[in-house]
Amino acid sequence: MSARPWKLLTLAAALVAVSAGVARAQEIETCYATADRVTNGDTVSAEDKEAGHKACQSALEATSSIVQKSQIQDADFDIIGRPAKKPD
């Protein structure tokens, strides 16, 4: 078997990995930018909040880092509000 199919397969896998990383980075950036706008008191439309929330949820699903999950979830809470505390 020649090495050419393996080279093409490796190249295809690398392209998929790179494009997935860019998408995650864009989602995280959208999530954090929306959270910053809300936290700073800027006027944020309901559509922008929804887009930021969806970006946060997608980024949460894509990462396996516990630290990054915590940071993304905090940003998402800034966008949609913190859940109500349970009564004691």
What is the residue extent of each domain of the chain? 27-80
d(CA 78, CA 39): 7
Give the pLDDT of the chain (88 residues) as one tens digit per residue: 566 667 666 655 655 554 445 458 889 999 999 999 999 999 999 999 999 999 999 999 988 888 889 999 999 999 998 877 887 6
Radius of gyration of the chain (CA): 18
How is residue 31 written in tokens?
A: 């999530």
pLDDT value for 19: 47
d(CA 80, CA 6): 46
pLDDT value for 77: 94
